[in-house]
Structure 1
């Protein structure tokens, strides 16, 4: 099934509400005035060249605020200062042994790195607290109970921060830790949203993600914002299919340390669910969102066990493996895959999932995926689509603050309450999973665009309900085409 721009946002709908260049330029001062120290000029990051140090945007922006706080474009002197600081504190791949050599000489070393800890309990031995510093290749540093008590996220998904290391006779110790932490006051975030119109807010969100909103149509803006759904909604499981180069993983890499992107390599049940030998929980238990990139070429160990475990998890949020361990998780699961397009830039294959591994095409598995984002409708990622010197709107929210605000919205049930009343599907016998998926996605889109809870019925339909139907329709089309069992229901998902 194909949709056109006017099918999605008809000409008499708010499509005409996109902001012009002058309106976007005027918005810079407004964003800075409303969010103050939580706003940042997004041109500062590419000018700093911190991306070359291999750190995500939410870390790089924290570095900028720590080393050269301020607004406006980054000056040459500020860029030099940042790079000098980074050279001392952010280790490159070739500097691991230099740092270890300094530690062996008795020096203390400060590095900006992700830090993750675990408690190892072995029979007949005292429990050991062990820290891992992946950028340094250190997996067994000593860490104190005091640090673990102060920063419990170190034991969950880990945290980025400045770590001071020192040598012990039998290893390395974490002496101190200064984390990246954004303070979130959700009520203030909601109050700030009230100061913007819907189109202003959508533009601010896209700029925060690093995109130039003036480079996208309204429908394309919506698909970009839909990528945020797994952050604001618990157990939001999605798939995005697109050709190469559309930036499917760009946002997930740079939004939050609570999002884990797996790109390439082997994917095993132990990595996703739980390691039965050690009892350590996998990624789906420790992160808020887990993203599998390049799914069409990924290597899966024990694929039958993986898809079996995923079917159970996607259905009820329970993680288990062989019955040895069991826990609940609200982690969202996202699959990104490349597909082939024809000369008109439409999917070439009759079935959109035809190029996925066979075990991921099983309808019982696909049915548990709530949404299919039509990434083929987005342009290939290029410099003209990103915030640059020529962009009219360049001021957005700091990435670490924004990511934490989105995750905090998971606990806000205002949108769920609204969607439960407003979302009703039509037809003789609506399919239950379609209703649940559309309602959850509509609530999520409300959280993203109307976090303050104030939305007209017209805007809710145009910007929340209708896009949610389109996202679920992509999955439903696949199920309808692959399995006759689903043809007892109507082919089109529609409003009651």
Structure 2
């Protein structure tokens, strides 16, 4: 134990654990961190290596005998029925059932929703009634056949904290300096602060901000393997992580059918992993999300108010220097297209994930830190019962470029940092100034990206600043973009009709404004209108008749068909040769190209087969494709026409595309491990004519 270990063990006796032991067991078991730490605190509360080794074996044996895995529920129930009773480690919820006029316990992994429980257990442990509690629980079998339940709880011992004293937590914090307390928090999440710079320490602390500040909107984008999602999946039992998939208003916000609030009403933090993979099918979901992110309330027939913070984490596939020096890309590039500027403007904080170190054992600590559940409980208490926003508002002075949402985001960030690092007393002026500068930087990162996307000057006031204790105004920059002209002074796209506004220059020809970067020349951009009104900016498609010559490259289904799918809902393709494996694969690639236009809801394939076609195999392949399209809310209809000879693609917006060879106009690759196998634009073509015209 080093000096910090000794101090934390003395100030928080019984609430700390050696973190390296957690790492050693965690690698081989899929058990919540706080369950492991509970067992380690019981069996490995020693500095003697022999006792620790024996304790580790006892922990593993306990997990083997008592931890219920979800796929072993039936076996666990059978053990109780056979032996009469057995002790398990499981999460226990207690619910009052109005119809039965009594309380029932529900065990998650044991998979029983109707377990009898004595009043003393949920009276002494409040959290059983408020989201559930991990416990060591002895389940007994009920031999009385007339009773309407098979199991009852004979004994229960909480693994998580059943009660928490915030006053004791604050008293313990007073024994440490700010820097020492920061190290204690970092060790509690398993990191060794000695290996980290002060700035990276702040980044790791910042990942905890959504756990302490209500309605705090946080985003972190960066490389893979930096542990972005760990803080929301493992650190706190009060946060939930949504991994990709579909985000619906019923799941997230309110289910009108069940009259029940969604995830934002049950969790302190709702985090979205791999945010770029989120599928949002209902536009109302985004509108409700905007309302909730703005003020913590929304209406779906009933007015709902909730405190949950929202965190979004994802991966950047391009280097940061490429992005900040690009006129085309911005640091919000991975976000789904449904996340418009209004959503982005609600982000209080953008953590630069590219500055975080990759996960490595060299950064893990071998020292003591808080039992995870204890620190998570402290953060939960602060989320629900403490407010430092007014304290921040009285001390902070921001510059004139700071607008309404900038100010709110900056103040909430500083408030959250103070909650974590100064729970019991205000920070010094020097510390407060440090937090303000950091908060301004991370809000500026949001505003810079919005300014790159906007065609006018709505978000152009990016030089956010604050006044230090000497009254001097300090403009804060983001280190990655400070010298990037493409971010600091982005070129504005000309959205006007060139004939109607000939005095406006073509912004894409001003190469001198973007040094060290080749600016692509593009056609003039015009609004495209449909019956429902303007929907997007797109090059106006024209009729075309051209030939793809043998050996040509640069062609794909997306480049040929894509420009003509504006506002399309139904795409019909007639091609008699969708039979062989490579032909079906071509059709799959065609469907992928069509899916990049979000309005398409149906694809109709008309094809044929001959006597050599394996009809069963073809049917199975098309059925698999049909099922995968259904998951994306697109219907595939397959028709068979034995007399089919022509090949054409008909789009319900009026365009007809005829490719002489149908979809099969690519040469077979010389090698299936060569260039052009997956990217069709790089694959050589066969000669064919293409005619594109309207009805």
Instruction: Report the TM range for the smaller structure's normalisation.
Output: 0.7 to 0.9
Q: How far, CA to CA, are the matches of 2:241 and 2:298 in structure 1? A: 19
Structure 1 residue corresponding to 2:450, chosen from 479, 488, 491: 479
**Aligned position for 1:57:** 33
**Aligned position for 2:355:** 377
Deviation of residue 129 (structure 1)?
Answer: 5.1
Deviation of residue 26 (structure 1)?
Answer: 3.1
**Aligned position for 1:160:** 134
Aligned pair in 2 of structure 1 residues 260, 128: CA closer, same or farther (>3 Å)?
farther
Structure 2 residue corresponding to 1:91, chosen from 54, 68, 71: 68
Does residue 225 of structure 1 match 2:205?
A: yes
1:19-71 CA distance string (max 9 Å, x none): xxxxx943222222222222222122123x15533222222111222344345
Q: How far, CA to CA, are the matches of 1:154 and 1:414 in structure 2? A: 26
**Aligned position for 1:135:** 109
Contact 1:41-1:72 at 8 Å conserved across structures:
no
**Aligned position for 1:423:** 396
Deviation of residue 138 (structure 1)?
Answer: 3.5
Consecutive unaligned residues in structure 1, runs of 5 or more:
1-23, 389-393
Q: How far, CA to CA, are the matches of 1:144 and 1:264 in structure 2? A: 40
Structure 2 residue corresponding to 1:197, chosen from 153, 177, 183: 177
Contact 1:231-1:289 at 8 Å conserved across structures:
yes
Q: How far, CA to CA, are the matches of 1:483 and 1:184 in structure 2? A: 48
**Aligned position for 1:39:** 16
Q: How many residues align?
A: 458
Higher relative contact order (CA 8 A, sep 6+): 1
Q: How far, CA to CA, are the matches of 2:152 and 2:13 in structure 1? A: 34
Contact 2:106-2:114 at 8 Å conserved across structures:
yes
Aligned pair in 2 of structure 1 residues 227, 182: CA closer, same or farther (>3 Å)?
farther
Structure exhibiting the larger radius of gyration computed from Cα positions: 2
Return 373-382 or 251-260, whichever deviates more: 251-260
Deviation of residue 171 (structure 1)?
Answer: 4.6
Return 108-117 or 221-230, whichever deviates more: 108-117
1:255-275 CA distance string (max 9 Å, x none): 221111222444332221233
Q: How far, CA to CA, are the matches of 1:346 and 1:188 in structure 2? A: 47
Contact 1:239-1:373 at 8 Å conserved across structures:
yes
Deviation of residue 127 (structure 1)?
Answer: 5.7
Does residue 406 of structure 1 match 2:379?
A: yes
Does residue 316 of structure 1 match 2:290?
A: no
Aligned ranges for residues 58-73 of structure 1 at < 5 Å?
Answer: 58-70=34-46
Q: How far, CA to CA, are the matches of 2:396 and 2:164 in structure 1? A: 30
Consecutive unaligned residues in structure 2, runs of 5 or more:
468-695
- RMSD across aligned positions (CA): 2.8
Contact 1:415-1:453 at 8 Å conserved across structures:
no
**Aligned position for 2:283:** 304
1:180-237 CA distance string (max 9 Å, x none): 2164332332232232222222111111110111222111110100011112211112
**Aligned position for 1:358:** 337
Q: How far, CA to CA, are the matches of 2:21 and 2:393 in structure 1? A: 42
**Aligned position for 1:329:** 306
Contact 1:254-1:399 at 8 Å conserved across structures:
no
The answer to which structure has the higher helix fraction is 1
Deviation of residue 449 (structure 1)?
Answer: 1.5
Does residue 494 of structure 1 match 2:492?
A: no
The SS at the match of 2:430 is helix
The SS at the match of 1:350 is coil
Contact 2:239-2:267 at 8 Å conserved across structures:
yes
The SS at the match of 2:313 is strand
